[in-house]
């Protein structure tokens, strides 16, 4: 049975997008090597298949250079992360930013520098709303 469409990239697709967001265009072999450096060793053909699927989904574009294809993301990192976070906020936390943040603080160690920056951002948001 086919997996239902989510509207955002799979885990592997997101890993590939992160690689390409860091620097593109890249050839299949470059993407495969970067995945291997991140402990995701895949066959060359598996990477090609995934990249071509991502082209069909309009996450990537490809251009021929000599005998190789070079891949470039055509989705924005900020847009993808916001869409995924919004979906999680809506479906997992019933729209509650408080529940999302409490879960984050409960499950993950947040460095004091990050907490200070979050406090600054929250204070700025409060100030902007008054």
CATH of 11-73, one of 1.10.10.10, 3.40.50.300, 1.20.120.420, 3.40.50.11810: 1.10.10.10
- pLDDT class of 5 with cuts at 50, 70, 90: low
Question: How far apart, in whole angstroms, are the C-alpha atoms of residue 62 and residue 4?
Answer: 26
Cα separation, 96 vs 3, in Å, equals 28
Span 70-83, pLDDT tens digits: 999 999 999 999 99
Kindly state the helix (H) or strand (E) to which residue 71 belongs, with its residue range: strand 68-73
Mean pLDDT of the chain: 93
Interatomic CA distance for residues 26 and 19, integer angstroms: 9
DSSP string, 55-70: HHTTSEEEEEETTEEE
Residue boundaries of the structural domains of the chain = 11-73, 77-129
- Closest listed residue to residue 42, CA positions, set 75, 19, 64: 19
């Amino acid at each position: 049975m086919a997996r239902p469409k989510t509207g955002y990239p799979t885990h592997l697709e997101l890993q590939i997008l992160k690689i390409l967001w860091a620097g593109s265009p890249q050839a299949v072999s470059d993407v495969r090597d970067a995945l291997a450096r991140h402990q995701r060793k895949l066959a060359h053909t598996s990477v090609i298949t995934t990249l071509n699927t991502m082209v069909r989904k309009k996450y990537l574009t490809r251009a021929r250079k000599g005998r190789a294809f070079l891949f470039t993301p055509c989705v924005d990192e900020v847009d993808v992360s916001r869409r995924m976070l919004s979906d999680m906020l809506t479906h997992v936390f019933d729209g509650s930013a408080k529940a999302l943040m409490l879960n984050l603080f409960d499950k993950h160690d947040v460095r004091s520098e990050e907490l200070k920056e979050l406090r600054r951002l929250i204070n700025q948001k409060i100030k902007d709303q008054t």
